[in-house]
Amino acid sequence: MTLLNDDSEFPEFMDHLQAECDRRHWRYVEFRPLSGTQERDYGLQPSSSYWVHKLDTKPCLEQIVRELHKNSFQRKIRRAHTERLSYEVGTSQQLVDEFYRLVLITRRRHQLLPQPRRWFKNLVACMGGRTMFPSQQCSLCDIAHALYTSMGARTIASTTWAVCRSSSGNLSRTAKHRG
């Protein structure tokens, strides 16, 4: 999805951008145009280069996978299939229960009392679609479970509990909080 519908909107966009920079006292703004044709007319200079990746999602999934790089993406997709890697996100009772199980493990390890399970159920009931529990798992173990809560377009709390098997078969447990 592009910010502007076509190049004719660029002058209006630049006028608005300049006004915002002046109003907010911004020294610079970074944006990444796809064409790079009109920027120099406004005194803009490139500060770094970058790659633009486009993926046409119109063909069937098998066709898209066939056109991916064989030694990078295709190999990683095959490995994910072999290890039965899965990803799920939602607010189902199963996802809340899986997340809570990891909360208990982590809180015990830190010798802290866990929040009551009811607290997470109330969070889902009160916040509805603004709360979600992503879960990543493979055939051997849980990889990570997280809790995201948002207000509008801004995530106000995210907490991740991860359980991963090391090469020795032991479980490594971590908890990270970002607010």
Question: pTM score > 0.95 for this model?
Answer: no
Residue 109 has pLDDT above 50, yes or no: yes
C-alpha 80/C-alpha 82 separation (Å) is: 5
C-alpha 37/C-alpha 106 separation (Å) is: 53
The token pair at 40 is: 């120099």
Q: Please report, for the chain, the start and end positions of each structural domain, with discontinuous segments joined by +.
A: 1-54, 58-83, 86-178
Query: pLDDT tens digits for 125-136?
Result: 888 778 888 887
The token pair at 159 is: 């907490």
Find all residues with CB under 8 Å of 154, minimum gap 6, and list them. Answer: none
Maximum alpha-carbon separation in the chain: 62
Domain 86-178 carries which CATH code? 3.40.630.30
Judge residue 100's burial from the number of C-beta atoms within 10 Å of its C-beta, 0-12 exposed, 13-18 middle, 19 or more buried: buried
How far from chain centre, in Å, is Cα 19?
31
C-alpha 65/C-alpha 21 separation (Å) is: 42
Query: pLDDT tens digits for 22-77?
Result: 898 888 877 777 666 667 677 777 777 777 777 778 888 888 888 888 888 888 88
